[in-house]
Structure 1
Amino acid sequence: MPVVSVSMPDELLARLDGVAEEYEYTGRSEVVREGTRTLLSEFDDPSLEGRPLAGTVAVFSRPGGDRHDHHVGTLRHEYEATIVSSDHSHVGGCCLDLFVLEGQLETISTFVGTCRALEGVSAVEYSLTPLDDLG
């Protein structure tokens, strides 16, 4: 099996070790493999493919000033055809960007992945609802 080197903050590494110990994984690698499988299968829901979807995406980040704001602003422009609305708030010492999206699964899942990759983002939560089920 190939070896992959991953850099992560000490806090995240401590949490990873805690999960490995608490749930009796054989080590960090097993936890990382399971997390990777979960992430890769996250948007593999055939029942949502090809259907119009509404989604809410909450992006939590540490207050970081202009650079983060620039990245979020770039996302707003890049996905303007999909973003129905967005709001920026401060909650619990964090920045919270809330997006309401309308589009196809592939576009929304790419948006979520892009948000997760932004510098300073600590969590991304989302919810999807098929629009054709609402009528």
Structure 2
Amino acid sequence: MTVVSVSMPEDLLSRIDSFADEHGYTGRSEVVREAARNLLGEFEDKRLEDRDLISIVTVMFNYETTTVEERMMHLRHEHEELVSSNFHSHVGNHYCMELFVLEGRLDEISTFVGKIRATKDTLTVDYSVMPVDDFSSLENLG
């Protein structure tokens, strides 16, 4: 197996070590391998390919980190054909939340979420994806 060197903050490394101990992993390498497999497989859902999708993406970041807010604005404009709606809100005294509503294909949504995740100083990135054609089955329930 190839050895890879990865830089990460001490607090993240400590969390990985604690997680490994608490969940019976043999060590941090096993945790990182599983996380990488999950991340790579996240957008490989064959049921979502070649379908129109809607996605909700939320991003949290520190209010004082203006570079994140600037990056969010840049991504919104760079992907204006994908972003149906965007909402910015202040949360508490120190945080901001960006909410994006996306409509597009799986590869487009995956690229957008990947760019957000790669943005330095984001605190959390959460999203959900649902095929647009699933809404017709929901209408029949009411």
| Range of TM-score over shorter length | over 0.9
Structure 2 Cα separation of the partners of residues 14 and 5 of structure 1: 16
Aligned to 2:115: 114
Question: 2:79: which partner in 1?
Answer: 79
Give the match's secondary structure for 1:16.
Answer: helix
Letter in 2 for 1:12: L
For residue 108 of structure 1, give the secondary structure of its aligned residue in structure 2: helix
The TM-score, its normalising length taken from structure 2, stands at 0.90
Q: Which amino acid aligns with 1:81?
A: E
How far residue 29 of structure 1 moved from its aligned partner, in angstroms, is 0.5
- Deviations along 1:66-110, whole A, 9 cap, x unmatched? 322221111011110010111111224322110000000100011
Note the residue ranges of structure 1 that are not aligned, 5 or more in a row: none
Instruction: State the match for 2:2 in structure 1.
Output: 2
Q: Which has the larger radius of gyration?
A: 2
- For 2:130 and 2:36, locate their aligned partners in 1 and report how far apart those are by CA, in whole Å: 24
Asked if 1:90 is matched to 2:70, the reply is no
SS of 2:48's partner is: coil
Q: How does 1:40-79 map to 2 (within 5 A)?
A: 40-79=40-79
> What's the counterpart of residue 129 of structure 1?
130
**In structure 1, what is the Cα distance between the partners aligned to 2:11 and 2:86?**
30
| CA offsets 1:5-62 (integer angstroms, 9 cap, x no match) | 1111122111111111001111110100010001000111111101000100001122
Deviation at 1:133?
Answer: 1.6
Matched-pair contact (CA < 8 Å) for 1:64–1:120: no
**Residue 102, structure 1, aligned to residue 106, structure 2:** no
Q: Tell me if the contact between 2:65 and 2:121 (Cα under 8 Å) persists in the aligned partners.
A: no
The 1-side partners of 2:39 and 2:65 are apart by: 29
Identical pairs, percent: 51
Aligned length: 135
Report the CA distance between 1:117 and its aligned residue. 0.4
Question: Structure 2: 5+ residue runs without aligned partners?
Answer: 137-142
Helix, strand or coil for the counterpart of 1:11? helix
